[in-house]
Structures are given as C-alpha cells and as structure tokens.
Amino acid sequence: MAKKHQLYRLPSGTVAYLELNPIGKIIKDKGLDPGGDAQKFHTANVLKRIKRYMPFNSGMTYKVTVAQTDADGTEILDYENYPTFPIVPLWGNQAHMSEIVGCRAGIDAYDLIKSGFANDLDNAQMYWILHNAGGMDDTDLAQFLDRLKTVHAAVVDDDAGTGVDAHTVEIPTTAREAMLDRLRSDLYEDYMALDTKSIAGGAVTATQIQAAYEPFDAKLTALEYCVIEFIQGLLELAGVEDTPTFTRSRIINSTEEIQSVVQAAPYLGEEYATKKILTLLGDGDQAEDILRKIDADELDRFPEETGAE
C-alpha cells in the first residue's frame, strides 16, 4: 500500500503530499525484479555480446570429456568452456590501483603553476597610476582600462594637474621554472618513465643510456608479467610449446655500440659482426644480401685459373 508523506503546507492552508509505493513494488513495476522485463532484456543483451568471446568450435564447447565403447559408441560425459575471457588487465602496481593515486598532488601542482604562469604572461603584469583622479570610481577605472586596450592611448588635462603613469612588474620566472622542472622530474621518476631530456646530450655514453632505461625496463617487466600468462594459455590452446619473448625498442649510442662490435669481431666472426652492425644501423633485413656480396667480392680478387701450357 502506498504511503503518503507531507512535503509542505502553503500559507493558504493547502497541504502537498508525496504518495510513494514500497520499494519492492517500484522495482517490480520497472521490471527490475528477478525475471522482470528489464532484467531479461539486459541478461539477453549481455549473453549476446559475450557470445563471440566464448571459445566454441562447431557449436560445441572446447573442453569435452567423452567415453567410447564398442557397444555404446561415443558418449559425452562432461563439457565446459574456459572460465575466463580474453581480457588482459595490465596492473600498474600490486595493489591493482590506478597509477594516478599518490601522484595527483604533483600533477595538480604542475598544472596550477603552469596555468598561473600563462595567466601572468597574458595580463602582462602592468598597472597604471592616475594622478589627481580621486573622483573616479571602479566603473570609471574599468572603462579607462578598456579604452587603453582598444585605442592604446590616453588623453589627460595637464592644466588640471592630472596625469597617467604606466608601471610594469617583472614576472617571477626563475622560481616557477625551477619548480616546474622539479615537478616534471618527480613525475617521470614516480611513473618510472623514460625522460629523453636526460639523454639528449651530444656526448652520452651507452652506460648512461642504459642507466636511464633501468626504471622504464623495470616497469615494462611488470607489465609483461601480466601478459605472459595469457600468451602461454593461447600457446597451450594452439598446441605450441614455446616461451613468449618481448622486443623493446630503445635509443642507443650507435657509434659506441658499433665500435664495441668491431673490436670484438676477431672473436665473434665476420658474419656475426656484419649482422650485428647492420641491425644497429636498422638494416638487419639486408644482412644476407650483403654477406653474399662480400663473398662475391672476395672471389673476384683471385683471377680464374688457366690451363697449364
């Protein structure tokens, strides 16, 4: 039975009531109860959307337990699908929380300083001193500034002793830039990202580049760990015995790397050294052609043998 609740009373004596049905009846009327129309619709919609992710093969589930005898033939004893969907969550941390947690203060501070800096540049930090204009109120001053921005000129009466002086304030940039640089560095460190600015110098060694990549590599290793289990499941399903590996692209000091390969060439062999150098130069796919050309050039050095006279 619906219950009436008094909302308010008008000065004329009229009373407004709210008639509210019980919660159970409201849910049932809206079709949200178990077996209701809305519940059936959303259940059918979810089943329709996830059907393509169900690992069916010719209408039958993948995992089937059968028994076969000469008398009864093949009999299906049990069948089921795999319990998970092909969705791979890349957790940012062990707590499975967003990486923005704990870093929000640094992000907000960076945005606040940068936004305030932009506002100061836009306003140009200029102010005006009006002499012998004490009768002007805030509206007059605002109109005076608007006119200056429009015509960039002001007319004053020297006889009345009035005058206008413009003054500018130097924008404090040093402290803000230093704070922005510090916040930027802290954010890169907190997110374990690679700051290419730190290795953008002209004389950066391979060791320095490797050290700059260490936090980034540690982060990628954690993300790869989230994917390995899923890939291994796919390989097992496909009947492939293999271990997934990951290739990471990175910035290198190619000159120093090539020098290291050249120095080790007598121990590694000419073929390996050639392939390694071409890989460092981004031409690894041409290694076989270049090796064949080198062999051909070496053969051309020797004249063909002629028959003895």
* Contact status, residue 251 vs residue 199, Cβ threshold 8 Å: yes
Task: Name which residue leads in pLDDT, 194 or 63.
Answer: 194
Mean pLDDT of the chain: 77
pLDDT value at 241 more than 50: yes
Is residue 85 over pLDDT 50?
yes
CA distance 259 to 206: 11
Is the residue at 294 inside a domain?
yes
pLDDT per residue as tens digits for the range 123-175: 656 777 888 777 788 888 888 888 887 887 777 777 667 788 877 777 778 88
Q: What average pLDDT does this structure show over 300-309? A: 56
Cα distance between residue 269 and residue 114, in whole Å: 55
pLDDT at 10: 73
Q: Taking Cα atoms as reference points, which of 294, 302, 301 lies closest to residue 278?
A: 294
**31-82 pLDDT, tens digit each:** 888 878 887 887 777 766 766 555 555 555 556 677 777 766 777 666 666 6
CA-CA-CA-CA torsion sign (90, 91, 97, 103): negative
- Per-residue pLDDT of 258-302, as tens digits, reads 888 888 888 888 888 888 887 877 777 787 888 788 777 777 766
256 domain residue, yes or no: yes
| Residue 276 structural domain | 252-301
For position 8, what pLDDT does the model report? 65
Could you give the CA distance from residue 67 to residue 47 in angstroms, rounded to a whole number? 30
Q: Quick one: which H or E segment has residue 44?
A: helix 37-50
**Sequence-separated (6 or more) residues with CB below 8 Å from residue 253:** 204, 205, 206, 209
Q: Mean pLDDT throughout 212-224? A: 84
Q: Indicate whether 291 belongs to any domain.
A: yes
Indicate if 182 and 263 belong to the same structural domain: no
Q: Which residue has the higher pLDDT, 195 or 80?
A: 195
Question: Domain end: 193, 226, 243, which one?
Answer: 193
Q: Residue 12 falls within a domain, yes or no? A: yes
How far is Cα 30 from Cα 39, in angstroms, rounded to an integer? 10
Same domain for 177 and 115: yes
**pLDDT score of 305:** 52
**C-beta separation of 252 from 277 below 8 A:** no
Rounded to 5 degrees, what are φ and ψ at 19? -95, 115
Confidence of residue 309 (pLDDT cuts 50, 70, 90): very low
Judge whether 141 lies within some domain: yes
Residue 308's pLDDT band, with cuts at 50, 70 and 90, is very low
8/151: higher pLDDT: 151
Q: What is the pTM of this model?
A: 0.45
**128 domain-assigned:** yes
- The pLDDT confidence band at residue 19, using thresholds 50, 70 and 90, is confident
> By C-alpha distance, which of 102, 100, 166 is closest to 128?
166
217 pLDDT higher than 70:
yes
- The domain boundary, picked from 193, 214, 229, lies at 193
Domain end (from 167, 193, 219): 193
Residues constituting the chain: 309
- Whether 211 maps to a domain, the answer reads no
Q: Are residues 179 and 110 in the same domain?
A: yes
- The answer on 48 and 120 residing in a single domain is no
Strand partners, 127: 167
220 domain residue, yes or no: no
Q: What's the token pair of residue 3?
A: 């219950």
* Distance from C-alpha of 3 to C-alpha of 20, rounded to nearest angstrom: 5
- Give the per-residue pLDDT at 43: 77
State percent of the chain over pLDDT 70.
Answer: 80
> Same domain, yes or no, for 185 and 262?
no
309 versus 140: the higher-pLDDT residue is: 140
Q: How many domains does the chain have?
A: 3
- Pair (110, 186) in one structural domain: yes
